[in-house]
């Protein structure tokens, strides 16, 4: 999945966290760390998002993200 999205995802330094690295337009490579938890409906929740390397775009204001798998993808 990481390759398809253009994001490299790995286990974080702390328990329950992941690190994700992406190359973003205008800001270059950015690595963020996020806490991961199970959410309702077969979803994963990401909270406490921290920039570990590089800078997030100025309009990034989210403190949490929820991944909802596409049920039509099989």
* In the chain, domain spans: 2-54
Q: Find the mean pLDDT for residues 24-29.
A: 84
Are 23 and 5 in contact by the 8 Å Cβ rule? The answer is: no
pTM of the model: 0.67
pLDDT at 40 over 80: yes
Model pLDDT, residue 49? 87
pLDDT at 17 over 90: yes
In this structure, what DSSP letter does residue 2 have?
Answer: H
pLDDT at 64 over 70: no
CA torsion sign, 2 to 58 to 64 to 67? negative
Question: What span, in angstroms and rounded, lies between the C-alpha atoms of 20 and 18?
Answer: 7
User: Which residues share a beta bridge with 22?
Assistant: 7, 30
3-state secondary structure at position 13: coil
Ranges 2-11, 35-44, 46-55: which has the least confidence: 2-11
């Amino acid at each position: 999945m990481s390759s398809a999205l253009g994001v490299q995802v790995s286990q974080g330094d702390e328990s329950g966290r992941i690190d994700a690295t992406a190359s973003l337009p205008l800001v270059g490579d950015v690595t963020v760390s996020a806490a991961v938890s199970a959410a309702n409906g077969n979803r994963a929740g990401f909270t406490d998002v921290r920039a570990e390397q590089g800078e997030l775009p100025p309009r990034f204001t989210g403190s949490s993200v929820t991944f909802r798998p596409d049920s039509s993808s099989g």
